[in-house]
Chains A and B, each alone.
Chain A
């Protein structure tokens, strides 16, 4: 029995500096895992190692039981390992509809066609409309992305990811930079993710983590220092120390 997604002993060194140390974790189908950790813990490096943007110094990445460590980022996406970005990476001149259409055409291997109409296929059009509706983006579907709210851009990041029909989804701080009034929309979007999808979310907003995650992994100084249930994480001594440093043991001043 193999997990849908698994990393074993993943390490990365930049020169003499170890940014990721022997990270191992696995995600079964339908998992909702949150990866948290203080700034500089190596979360982004971890995402880049997993998605193939960086080559690990040691360790392996498995997708669907297959070793994908040697594959590039694009190949991993094509096998169902999809990510969103911490800072939105969108095409400001294009509309949400065009983003999702292009993504679906790409998924179907039709995005490279020169003599084809971009908007010609009604099946694609229907799917685009469905995805945008799920994320509540229909009303801005034909506005330039540069003109829509940041919260909507974050939702579009998720829409693009979903249009790829991923098996494993990495959400890199999906609520980062979103005004608190829009956070509920992101939360709703996360709740509506396909149940079978394995999701690994990196997030600072602990409210969101506790609501979303069934399991939490804490990273500090490039190492996994905690794996367990959300309810246990706050009580863990090492986690408290990682977040609070020596203050974790400070006594209250009378």
Chain B
């Protein structure tokens, strides 16, 4: 008979350090970002847009990848950040970091509202439907409140002050791009800590089995609501960045289409790693840009084909594909990322 005493002398294996992998990862993101700055000086506006979308995709990953909450309404939070920053800007608050902070707070509050509503439903399809309803309501609210938002004409005339009082937001978008890249790196590093915190682990637990988490004595609802607020602040930062860089805020920033596109980008890159959100956004928007310039009429068809191929042959997204072929774990899959 094997007794426990016989198994006791085995020591607990030491954890492998995963930090270097993330340091390399962040360095790579910075390198790719700077390479983009040097290689495509004429496309910095597009690249800044990619960064704003990457923030939106990251915010969805927090909910989908770490909590198991499906959402097709994340642009509500993005748009809340964009409009809040935009409205503040036209009303005299023009310091860029303050605008980003305003965007984050607005996104976070919108996340709170969204969370309270969506978490009424227990899971899956009802949540998805609620998320669509919420983004449509936000869209309609932004449309109707035209005194504040400019309605369907959009909110124009934003003129953010110079960054650090020195770097003007120039016509070529250099300042906006580097500002965005800095924001993205900061947010990414913070989120890597968040998903590894006790709170992050609790979220992963809830994703897999909320009943077990309850039996551990933890309430599920407040944890998820907190993640909604964190996710909202990330989306709001993305929205604020979009507002600052383009100097207009349109109704498309609170649209279902934007939400759906961002979710597609995330799924393309792979959920639950944070890296996937970035990879997916870059690939999707790069592909979209190239294909739409080659064939302006049928580019959506080609994007559709790309997605079908992805779902059939790499259901875990590009990062999943990479993990399979390199053995390198990017996300929380071995319990030691």
A residues whose Cβ falls under 8 Å from a Cβ of B: 51, 73-74, 77-78, 82-83, 85, 89-95, 97-98, 101-103, 105-107, 110-119, 129, 132-136, 138-139, 141-144, 160, 164, 181, 184-185, 188-189, 192
C-alpha spacing A160/B8, complex, angstroms: 18
9 chain-A/chain-B pairs, Cβ below 8 angstroms? A82-B217, A111-B199, A118-B196, A119-B15, A129-B12, A134-B4, A142-B13, A144-B334, A185-B4
* Alpha-carbon separation in the docked complex, A192 to B222 (Å): 36
Instruction: Tell yes or no: B230 within 8 A of A by CB.
Output: yes
Query: Besides the contacts A116-B197, A134-B4, A138-B12, what 19 more A-B pairs have beta carbons closer than 8 Å?
Result: A77-B217, A89-B212, A94-B335, A98-B335, A106-B202, A106-B217, A106-B218, A110-B198, A111-B198, A112-B198, A114-B194, A114-B200, A114-B230, A118-B200, A138-B8, A142-B13, A142-B15, A184-B1, A189-B4
Cβ of B202: which chain A residues have Cβ within 8 Å of it? 102, 106, 111-112
- Are A138 and B7 touching (Cβ within 8 A)? yes
* Chain B min CB distance to A77 (Å): 4
Contact of B216 with A106 in the complex, beta carbons under 8 Å: yes
Select the stretch in B38-46, B203-211, B310-318 that faces chain A. B203-211
Query: B147 — which chain A residues lie within 8 A by C-beta?
Result: none
Within 8 Å CB of B193, what residues of A?
Answer: 115
Contact: B197 with A113, CB < 8 Å?
yes
Is B196's CB under 8 angstroms from A93's CB?
no
Interface assignment of B332: CB less than 8 Å from any CB of chain A? yes
Query: Which residues of A have CB within 8 Å of B298?
Result: none
Q: Whole-angstrom distance between the alpha carbons of A103 and B222 in the complex?
A: 17
B166 within 8 A of A: no
Whether a CB of chain A sits under 8 angstroms from the CB of B321 is no
Which residues from chain B contact A134 at a C-beta distance below 8 Å?
A: 4
For residue A80, which residue of chain B has the nearest CB?
B217
Q: Are B219 and A74 in contact (CB under 8 A)?
A: yes
Q: Is the CB of A107 within 8 A of B15?
A: no
B201 in contact (CB, < 8 A)? yes
The chain A residue with its CB closest to the CB of B199 is A114
Closest Cβ neighbor of B15 among chain A residues: A142
